[in-house]
Amino acid sequence: MRVKEFVVGLFPILTWIKTYDTQMAIGDIIAGITIALTLIPQSIAYASLSGFAPQYGLYSSFIGPIIYAFIGTCAQINMGPAAILSLLTFSYTNGTNIDFAILLTFFSGVVQLVAGIGQLGFLVEFISLPVVSGFTSAAAILIATSQVKDLLGLRFSSDSFLTTWYQFFVHLPEARLYDSLLSLGCCCFLFAMKSLKDLKIKINTQDESGRRKAKRVKKTLWFISIARNATCVALATVFAYLVYEDIENPFLLTGDIPPGLPAVIPPPFETTVGNTTYSTGQMISHLGSGIIVLPLVALLGNIAVVKVFSQGKKIDATQEIIAIGVCNLVSSFFQSMVVNGPFSRSAVSQASGVRTPGSGIYTGILVILTLLLLTPYFYFIPKAVLASVIVCAVVQMVDVAIVKKLWRYSRLDLFTLFGTLLLSLCVGMEVGLIAGVGIDALLLLYYHSRPPLDVLYVDNGILPAHYAIYPVGGLYFAGAEWLRNKLIAVQHPPTTTTDGVESQPTAPTTKILVIYCDALHRFDYTFLDSIRMLVSDWSKTGRVIWCDTREPIKNQLKGVLTNPIFCEKSQLRAHMVPSTES
């Protein structure tokens, strides 16, 4: 029984296949086809974004969805190349060859599999929304930046955000007229098609047939809108083919793509770039932090998608991480780049009425057919149209709305957002991501250096006059100085110096301090040590009473204090009146 459960856990298809019917199959087929229409042009474009030949985009797009159908848990996820991953792949493999990208896929799979089996998924929880938002926006800006030269048909090489823009303006006079015009046309077309699905249609919806008609028109418009990338690429390609013979070489074209499926071979653990041969170790050292950053970013994307579409149901994060790991691992045998299921395609999938992860099989078959039948026609795809597809896809990734939200509800988070954004743009994506987590952690430290506690003077007649502290949560070293200053202010109230003569303090002079610990869960060592100093100081003339202390805290205090006074709230009065021996 346990074995069966385990196997079903590993292959979620075994759960949903039992109830799979025509209705579900139709939903999946429609979604599968729709996704393929989005995925195929995107994958060719993302391959060029990574700096590799277009076929590698297609190679990355069929095995992932098919495998995910068997082991994935989320119907909306569509495995394949993604904008951010392609950008990261470019930055880690720039100046090398496709072997590095394939090895990166292999190691990403291994790292994800290890993370899944080792239950390390919780690490993703340390990445907050402002970090994700800053990181994604930076990626979108960087991707758009990398494409501006292709939009205008410019040719130059550059490696950083600032130098790209500098080079862009230097080379601007060399812009190719026809490429620029084509890009402009494609971008306008894509934006127009995108807004098609939001179009208000005036159809009489009084009677049943009218309503049905309205629904049908709406659905058609939506489909045209979703298929805009494929339509745009197809139209531009036909156009490029037609004018190819009229005008001599008007557009920069994609060029030859070898037809057919990729050879199934183990990932390359050795390669030669120019005259240099790289051993496995040298390849790994060249990929460097990419071996951690890419799988992490890929995971991050998938987990975010799964959360959004889980609709309040419990998600099996471990299985998801294992699934993406297996997809990458197997894909690396098919000469694939790193894959995940980006949000943009998941949204299309959801809108197409997807029912199970099985839709990936239909998508996969369409990509395979494309590779077998359509590649000869891809020769004429203008590079400008691919750049247009990428730019129009990533522009919506820049998250401007969050700035207003953070300003209104949590301003401290703006530091995280802009820190991540700027460092990602100017220093590097991986630096931005890690620094974002660091900024979050430092803000948490900062917040804990001003813990929400006050030393209150209580004289309400119920209990003898005393000072009271109500600490909440944990008290950490960063807050020690804060508490120290509060207590000193109570013990030595500020005196105004008038011509050298100090006036007498007028504050109450009770020497009883009650610390209500019922909402206190933890001290760290540094705070404990400063408590030791504070309490021994206060105890010289007064008494410190720990009220309603939890067991772990009690043990910590017993360790550092001599004879601490613990009591429950009900016994407080008895402990506030000093007994004779103390």
Q: Which residue in the set 110, 129, 347, 403 belongs to the binding site for a copy of itself (CB under 8 A)?
A: 129
# binding residues, a copy of itself (CB under 8 A): 67
Q: How far is the CB of 427 from a copy of itself (least distance, A)?
A: 16
Residue 99 contacts a copy of itself per CB under 8 A: no
Q: Rounded to the nearest whole angstrom, what is the least distance from the CB of residue 574 to a copy of itself in the complex?
A: 26
- Other beta carbons less than 10 A from residue 512's beta carbon: 21
Q: Is 502 in the site for a copy of itself (CB under 8 A)?
A: no
Q: How far is the CB of 149 from a copy of itself (least distance, A)?
A: 33
What separation in angstroms does the CA of 360 have from each of 17, 225, 350?
Answer: 14, 21, 13
Which of these segments, 20-28, 100-108, 121-129, 275-283, binds a copy of itself (CB under 8 A)? Answer: 121-129
Interaction between residue 505 and a copy of itself (CB under 8 A):
no
| Residue 413 touching a copy of itself (CB under 8 A) | yes
Across 193-344, where does the E strand assignment appear? 271-273, 276-278
Residue 453 identity: L
Rounded distance, CA 535 to CA 557, Å?
11
Residue 430 binds to a copy of itself (criterion: CB under 8 A): no
Q: Is 274 in the site for a copy of itself (CB under 8 A)?
A: no
Which tokens go with 287? 């990929």
Which residue of 21, 125, 198, 551 would you call a contact of a copy of itself, by CB under 8 A?
Answer: 125
By CB under 8 A, the residues from 17 to 46 that bind a copy of itself are: 18
Tokens of residue 347, six digits: 């949204």
Contact between 286 and 298 under an 8 Å Cβ cutoff? The reply is no
Q: By CB under 8 A, tell whether 404 contacts a copy of itself.
A: no
Only one of the segments 57-65, 81-89, 321-329, 409-417 lies at the binding site for a copy of itself (rule: CB under 8 A); that segment is 409-417
- Look at the block and give the residue holding tokens 């489909």: 223
Q: Between residue 312 and residue 351, which ones bind a copy of itself under the rule CB under 8 A?
A: 312-314
Under the binding rule (CB under 8 A), the answer on residue 122 touching a copy of itself is yes
Q: Does 445 bind a copy of itself (CB under 8 A)?
A: yes
d(Cα 486, Cα 410) in Å, to the nearest integer? 26
Q: What is the per-residue binding string for a copy of itself in 466-485, x denoting contact by CB under 8 A? A: ----x-xxx-xxx-xx---x
Q: What is the DSSP string of 104-144?
A: HHHHHHHHHHHHHHTTGGGGGGGS-HHHHHHHHHHHHHHHH
Question: b/e string for 416-453 if b means 16 or more Cβ within 10 A?
Answer: bbbbbbebbbeebbbbbbbbbbbbbeebeeeebeebeb
| Binding region for a copy of itself (CB under 8 A) out of 82-90, 99-107, 153-161, 444-452 | 444-452
User: Two tokens at 506?
Assistant: 């007028």
CB of 147 to a copy of itself, least distance (A): 31
- Give Rg (Cα) of the chain: 32
Question: Tokens standing for 202?
Answer: 């005036």
> Of these, 440, 467, 469, 546, which contacts a copy of itself (CB under 8 A)?
440
Contacts of 70 by beta carbon, 8 Å cutoff, 6+ apart: 11, 13, 357
The C-alpha atoms of residue 396 and residue 344 are separated, in whole angstroms, by 10
Nearer to a copy of itself, 15 or 157 (CB): 15
Contact residues for a copy of itself, defined by CB under 8 A: 1, 5, 18, 122, 125-126, 128-130, 311-314, 402, 405-406, 408-410, 412-413, 437-438, 440-442, 444-449, 451-452, 470, 472-474, 476-478, 480-481, 485, 488-489, 491-492, 497, 499-500, 519, 521-526, 528-529, 533-534, 537, 555-556, 559-560
